[in-house]
Amino acid sequence: MAVTDHAYALSIDPETTAWLLNETGAYSRQWAMYRQARTLLERALTIRENHLGPDHPDTAVSLNNLALVLHDQGDLSQARAFLERALTIRQVCLGHDHPETADSLDSLALVLHDVGDLSAAQECYGRALAIREARLGADHPDLAWTLTSLGSLLQDQGDLHQARTLYERALAIREARLGADHPDTVRSRERLAAVVAALENRE
């Protein structure tokens, strides 16, 4: 909070202040300081809406980040509304196949999954996957995130074979790009082991 308070005291321009608020809010979320993160991100969103407009790509960034905190706090309805706004902005301003559009699709799919709209969540994950494969390549770490998320959805739907295929792809990407001991790689290995065990128990 101190960094952003200094920004106001030093009369730093609004866009820089909003950026500082957004970055500090995102950092707070990583450490599960959700109340602080929400306050910071709400301030960033207000600044960006007032100074850049409600339909600016940077406003979409604030909407997306604030929505993730709301999701963490269990406010799925408001999180969904913000993510739908962010997705619309990015599709209009950046294009339907932009990587940031894929970010919004991934985030929206997460919320849709949690509210039980599995069909819509799968569609969003599928679109995000196609964008990332086309724009970032078949071995990009961001692609592994979408593969893992889609795999989790399919696992919840009982499609363990397809979930296993997606987890294997995600693990291969992470081992190659992040290394065998990276935390994300370790989590991928654990997910794959769990679904393999579940398949074996079916036999």
Report pLDDT for 157: 94
Considering the domain architecture, whether residues 22 and 69 belong to the same structural domain is answered as: yes
Please write the tens of the pLDDT for every residue from 99-150: 999 999 999 999 999 999 999 999 999 999 999 999 999 999 999 999 999 9
Residue 132 lies in a domain: no
User: What is the domain count for the chain?
Assistant: 2
Considering the domain architecture, whether residues 156 and 202 belong to the same structural domain is answered as: yes
Considering the domain architecture, whether residues 97 and 17 belong to the same structural domain is answered as: yes
Residue 188 lies in a domain: yes
Domain end, chosen from 80, 95, 127, is at 127
Instruction: Please provide residue 199's backbone torsions phi and psi, each rounded to the nearest 5 degrees.
Output: -65, -40
CATH code for the domain in which residue 200 is found:
1.25.40
Q: Is the dihedral of CA 150, 186, 28, 48 positive or negative?
A: negative
Report pLDDT for 12: 73
Considering the domain architecture, whether residues 96 and 142 belong to the same structural domain is answered as: no
Considering the domain architecture, whether residues 11 and 86 belong to the same structural domain is answered as: yes
Considering the domain architecture, whether residues 5 and 60 belong to the same structural domain is answered as: yes
CATH code for the domain in which residue 82 is found:
1.25.40.10
Asked if residues 70 and 78 have their Cβ atoms less than 8 Å apart, the reply is yes
Residue 160 lies in a domain: yes
Q: Which own/partner contact pairs does 125-132 have at CB distance under 8 Å and 24+ positions apart? A: 125/149, 125/150, 125/153, 126/150, 127/102, 128/102, 128/103, 131/97, 131/98, 131/99, 131/101, 131/102, 131/105, 132/99, 132/102
Specify the DSSP class assigned to residue 134.
H
CA atoms within 13 Å, Cβ hemisphere of 189: 11
Considering the domain architecture, whether residues 188 and 98 belong to the same structural domain is answered as: no
Considering the domain architecture, whether residues 68 and 151 belong to the same structural domain is answered as: no
Considering the domain architecture, whether residues 153 and 54 belong to the same structural domain is answered as: no
Report pLDDT for 141: 95
Domain end, chosen from 83, 104, 127, is at 127
Report pLDDT for 7: 54
Domain end, chosen from 68, 101, 127, is at 127
Positions in the chain whose pLDDT score sits under 50? none
The residue range of the domain holding 21 is 1-127
Could you tell me how many helices (H) and strands (E) the chain has, helices first? 10, 0
Residue 100 lies in a domain: yes
